[in-house]
């Protein structure tokens, strides 16, 4: 974004455009922190209901029963809601989601591409993730993962 044309590979650049466009990721993982902290004051963080499964069983998926933010607010709209975490350094922090159900970014992408819990037919009443099948091709999924891998720090303050 600062103009260094070599900072991202061509694949990661395509991935960024998908992330911010067709795949709708940036509607929750806000640029530039890629979490749910709301600009411009950065004082609140958004929670979302995705319909995360309890296990990796694709044949008989069940909804993870952790009530999430509901435990704090006692509001039905927050049942199964979790904060949107940052994707910075996400390539280093498997497993994924609040319960660690997905081992790889490929598995995370498969979940999103189907429309989250809705696509697995386990969606809670108030799923806030758009229900639509994203219709991402294999190449597009690879590009989005290349972009997420590009969010890995390459220098550290010692
Ligand atoms: C409706 C809001 C929303 C959208 C859209 C969304 N996410 Fe997420 N994302 C979340 C929330 C909330 C979590 C945490 C879920 C949990 O803990 O169960 C999450 C978790 C993740 C994680 C796991 C992070 C970790 O450390 O466990 C990855 C990776 C991720 N999202 C990538 C994406 C990508 C790529 C897209 C676009 C295809 C996307 N997200 C679209 C809200 C969203």
Angle at 23 between CA 122 and CA 136, to 5 degrees: 80
* Residue 135 half-sphere exposure toward CB, CA atoms < 13 A: 3
Among residues 75, 58, 85, 59, the alpha carbon closest in space to that of 125 is found at 75
pLDDT mean across residues, the chain: 94
Q: What is the pLDDT of residue 90?
A: 97
Residue 156 pLDDT exceeds 80: no
Q: Ligand 1 test: best mutation among 14, 29, 144, most atoms within 8 Å of CB?
A: 29
Determine the length of the chain.
158
pLDDT in tens, 47-104: 999 999 999 998 999 999 999 999 999 999 999 999 999 999 999 999 999 999 999 9
Determine the distance separating the centroid of ligand 1 and the alpha carbon of 129, expressed in angstroms: 9
pLDDT in tens, 100-125: 999 999 999 999 999 999 999 999 99
Q: Which protein residue has the closest C-alpha to ligand 1 atom 12?
A: 84
Is there a contact between 44 and 38 (Cβ–Cβ < 8 Å)? yes
Whether 136 is in the pocket of ligand 1, judged by its Cβ within 6 Å, is no
Closest ligand 1 atom number to CA of residue 64: 18
Q: Which protein residue has the closest C-alpha to ligand 1 atom 20?
A: 97
Q: What is the pLDDT of residue 158?
A: 59
pLDDT band at residue 155 under the 50/70/90 scheme: confident
Determine the distance separating the centroid of ligand 1 and the alpha carbon of 84, expressed in angstroms: 6
Residue 131 pLDDT exceeds 90: no
Residue 46: Cβ-neighbour burial (10 angstroms; 0-12, 13-18, 19+): middle
For residues 143 and 123, give the distance between their C-alpha atoms in angstroms, rounded to a whole number. 27
């Amino acid at each position: 974004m600062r103009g260094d044309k070599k900072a991202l590979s061509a694949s990661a650049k395509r991935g960024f455009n998908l992330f911010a466009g067709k795949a709708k990721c940036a509607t929750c993982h806000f640029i530039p922190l890629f979490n749910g902290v709301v600009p411009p004051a950065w004082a609140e963080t958004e929670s979302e209901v995705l319909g995360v499964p309890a296990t990796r069983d694709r044949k008989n998926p069940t909804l993870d029963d952790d009530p999430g933010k509901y435990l704090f607010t006692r509001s039905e709209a927050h049942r199964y809601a979790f904060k949107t975490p940052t994707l910075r350094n996400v390539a280093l922090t498997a497993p994924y989601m609040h319960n660690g159900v997905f081992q790889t970014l490929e598995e995370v992408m498969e979940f999103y591409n189907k429309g989250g819990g809705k696509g697995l037919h386990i969606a809670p009443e108030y799923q806030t993730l758009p229900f639509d099948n994203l219709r991402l091709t294999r190449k597009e999924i690879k590009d989005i993962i290349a972009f997420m891998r590009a969010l890995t720090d390459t220098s550290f303050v010692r």
